[in-house]
Amino acid sequence: MTPSVSSPIPAGLLAYGMSGKLFHAPFLRLHPGFELRSVVERTEQRMAADYPAIKSYPSTQALLADPSLELVVVNTPSDSHHDLTRQALLAGKHVLVEKPVATSVAQWHELVALARQQGRQLMAYQNRRWDTDFGAVRRVVESGQLGQLIEVHFRYDRFRPVLHTKVFKEDGRPGSGLVFDLGPHLLDQVISLFGKPLSFEKTIGSYRRGSQVPDFFSIQLRYPQGLNVWVTASLLVADAGPAFVLNGTLGSYRKERTDPQEPQLLAGIKPGDEAYGREQPGQEGRMVLADPAGHNHVLPPVADPAAPSTYLGLFEAVYQTIRHGQPYPITDEQLTWQLEILEA
């Protein structure tokens, strides 16, 4: 992708941990619509080793005082998102905030109102909309090949029986636990496909030794025409099954979680590399359609007509929203629906 660029957007990160290093800096550097200028590093100045021209600030306040910055990425622990986003908006910056965008609907409405008051763009970093495996699921749904969808399951499973060493993930503060960690990914994908559910029912549990937060959840979402969607995540699944299962009146589709982007970024593969974002042969998923006589036929899933969708698409959307006023694809309303479910 070679976007048309009028003038690059000067951008800064509020942290350079895993998310800053993997999910933000490489894309802000690659996309010609951004100029990655600064970062907040309170103790160690590590980002300069990767980006020598970067300016390191000792505090959020110091970075926000830089009048040259237009965009601030809030990539800090979940319970800080509301306060830091508020500070950035009051400083006159556009904001890209990681999930969860807030820990309550009330907080989110406050931020949306403030962004409008300030005349700034407030955008959610929901990168899993640009996962390669989810792109395949979207193509199947939009193709209508399965007929009327009856039952859909999205899962995000891990096996991590030991408590995380990052205390903020485990101590029960607002936004901690699996519901607010993986829930936003799964719910955003479902909402982007099917919209707001008519109703929902949520089950949560805590099973790891010493855990103070949910490490399992399953949410049933009910939609018109009898469609039921389940989103489930667990930290105690040693043998994960399909991440996506769709059953309709004409057939079924199932797919493993195969998006390669995070493993590739961890391995040092850059977003601009030819292999970046491309699944391996055999990872397309399994499509089975039934004919009128009841005979099953295994068919190839709907092919991707272009290069795979990657996280660079999210940053292109951010650029188009800030520079050209294009609607950001993850809407305020969709995020409100998500938070209503997470907070319930």
Same domain assignment for residues 280 and 211:
yes
Whether 114 maps to a domain, the answer reads yes
User: What's the pLDDT score for residue 2?
Assistant: 44
Q: How far apart are CA 317 and CA 3, in angstroms?
A: 10
At 276, give phi and psi (nearest 5°).
Answer: -65, 130
The string of pLDDT tens digits covering residues 7-25 is 999 999 999 999 999 999 9
Whether 2 maps to a domain, the answer reads no
Same domain assignment for residues 277 and 163:
yes
User: What's the pLDDT score for residue 232?
Assistant: 98
The string of pLDDT tens digits covering residues 294-324 is 889 998 887 776 678 899 999 999 999 999 9
Whether 339 maps to a domain, the answer reads no
**Which pair of structure tokens corresponds to residue 135?**
């792109």
Cis peptide preceding 100, ω within 30 of 0: yes
Cβ contact 245:252 at 8 Å: yes
Among 148-162, 181-195, 280-294, name the one with the lowest average pLDDT: 280-294
For residue 1, pLDDT over 60 is answered with: no
For residue 327, pLDDT over 50 is answered with: yes
Same domain assignment for residues 321 and 211:
no
Whether 1 maps to a domain, the answer reads no
User: What's the pLDDT score for residue 242?
Assistant: 97
Whether 230 maps to a domain, the answer reads yes
Whether 340 maps to a domain, the answer reads no
The 8-class DSSP code of residue 286 comes to E
Q: How far apart are CA 118 and CA 189, in angstroms?
A: 29
Coil/strand/helix, residue 44: coil
The string of pLDDT tens digits covering residues 200-221 is 999 999 999 999 999 999 999 9
User: What's the pLDDT score for residue 5?
Assistant: 63
The beta strands (E) that lie in 206-270 are given as 216-222, 228-234, 244-248, 251-255
**Which pair of structure tokens corresponds to residue 75?**
């990539």
Same domain assignment for residues 118 and 159:
no
**Which pair of structure tokens corresponds to residue 289?**
């359609």
The 8-class DSSP code of residue 169 comes to G
For residue 3, pLDDT over 60 is answered with: no
Same domain assignment for residues 63 and 207:
no
Give residue 247's domain range.
132-307
For residue 130, pLDDT over 50 is answered with: yes
Which CATH number covers residue 75?
A: 3.40.50.720
Same domain assignment for residues 202 and 290:
yes
Other CB atoms closer than 10 Å to residue 123's CB: what's the count?
24
Nearest by Cα to 285 from 241, 331, 316, 226:
241
Q: Give mean pLDDT, residues 268-275.
A: 92
Same domain assignment for residues 108 and 165:
no
Whether 336 maps to a domain, the answer reads no
Same domain assignment for residues 207 and 282:
yes
**Which pair of structure tokens corresponds to residue 282?**
């055999």
At 336, give phi and psi (nearest 5°).
Answer: -65, -45
Same domain assignment for residues 181 and 323:
no
Same domain assignment for residues 108 and 215:
no
Domain tally, the chain: 2
Which CATH number covers residue 173?
A: 3.30.360.10
CA 224 to the chain's CA centroid: 26
Coil/strand/helix, residue 297: strand
pTM of the entire predicted model: 0.94
Q: How far apart are CA 339 and CA 69, in angstroms?
A: 29
C-alpha distances out from residue 289 to 104, 217, 253, 298, Å: 42, 31, 9, 6
Whether 63 maps to a domain, the answer reads yes
User: What's the pLDDT score for residue 300?
Assistant: 83
Same domain assignment for residues 140 and 110:
no
Same domain assignment for residues 113 and 218:
no
The contacts found for 193-198 with CB under 8 angstroms, 24 or more apart, are 193/137, 193/138, 193/141, 194/221, 194/223, 194/227, 194/229, 195/223, 196/337, 197/221, 197/222, 197/223, 197/229, 197/337, 197/341, 198/222, 198/223, 198/224
Largest separation between any pair of C-alpha atoms in the chain: 70
Cβ contact 199:219 at 8 Å: no
Sequence-distant (≥ 6) Cβ neighbours of residue 259 within 8 angstroms: 131, 132, 133, 134, 277, 279
